[in-house]
Structure 1
Amino acid sequence: MARDFKRTDRLGDAIQRILAQLLQFEVRDPRIGMVNINDVSVSRDLSIARIYVTFVGKESDEECAEAEEALNKAAGFLRSQLAKELDIRTTPRLHFIYDTTSVRGQKLSNLIDKAMREDRAASGDRDDDSAAD
């Protein structure tokens, strides 16, 4: 029977779980604030982990870029803490990437809602005109 998950997937899940706790309790940089870890992608040779994050409460792209830079500067500390928790020979290097998919998804959802409201308003006006005749 084949395995359901590859080793990289299992390691990515473990890294995501541990980093969530470390970011919440150990990292004290005010530039970072609250972080959501959307996904962790580990390379096949287990040397690099790409962590896709979004920042709660950051309004501008500049604030998000600054928070991403702060996370990447703290990557060495986080990697050392991660090495203490994981039972693997080498701990992957951490590379944090700001993930814009949730922001773009919210904007698209708002545009769809706006278009549907305008369409309903336009069709409601046409129904009122035909009822008056």
Structure 2
Amino acid sequence: MAREYGRSQRVASEMQKELAAILQRDVKDTRLGFVTINDVELSKDLAVAKVYITVLNGDDAAKLANVKVLNEISPFIRHELAKRMRLRHISELHFYYDHSFDTGMRVAELLHDLEGRQDQSDASDNGKSEDE
């Protein structure tokens, strides 16, 4: 019987916490904006980690630039991660931009616009029924 919350998920969760702390405290690169670690996906053998990030208050070019910078300094981040985690081998880090936050914000914006149109429609319908 397989466990629902296996070792790779536990390691990924701990890695996410440690990466967030490393980015907040140890990385002093001025090229980075406000980066948030959204998710870490590990391969089955824990050799490769896909780290999904979001960047707040940045345009598309800035988001891609932040991912590029993180991939450039990933050896330093990996070294810091090795100091903090008790693993024999530390995963190779690959950073990717997570578009789910942007998609969620776009959906919320569309729903808000739709709600505003619905309110205007209801107000104009009420105005017609009162006049007639």
Q: Give the TM interval when normalised to the shorter protein.
A: over 0.9
CA shift for structure 1 position 84: 1.5
CA shift for structure 1 position 57: 2.2
Map residues 71-82 of structure 1 onto 2, 5 A cutoff: 71-82=70-81
Query: Could you report, residue by residue, the CA deviation over 1:24-79 in whole angstroms, capped at 9, with x for unpaired residues?
Result: 11111112122111111111011101111011221x11011011100001111111
CA shift for structure 1 position 104: 1.4
Q: Which residue of 2 aligns with 1:55?
A: 55
Rounded to whole Å, the distance in 2 between the matches of 1:2 and 1:108 is 36
Q: Which residue of 2 aligns with 1:34?
A: 34
Q: Which residue of 2 aligns with 1:5?
A: 5
Map residues 1-133 of structure 1 onto 2, 5 A cutoff: 3-58=3-58, 60-133=59-132
Stretch deviating more after TM superposition (25-34 or 64-73): 25-34
- Corresponding residue SS for 1:131: helix
- Corresponding residue SS for 2:27: coil
CA shift for structure 1 position 6: 0.6
Gapped regions of structure 1 (runs ≥ 5): none
CA shift for structure 1 position 2: 6.0
CA shift for structure 1 position 3: 3.7
Rounded to whole Å, the distance in 1 between the matches of 2:94 and 2:17 is 16
CA shift for structure 1 position 130: 1.2
Tell me the matched-pair count. Answer: 132
Gapped regions of structure 2 (runs ≥ 5): none
Percent identity between matched residues is 32
Q: Give TM-score, length-normalised by structure 2.
A: 0.94
AA partner of residue 104 (structure 1)? T
Segments of 4+ in structure 1 off by > 3 A?
A: 1-4
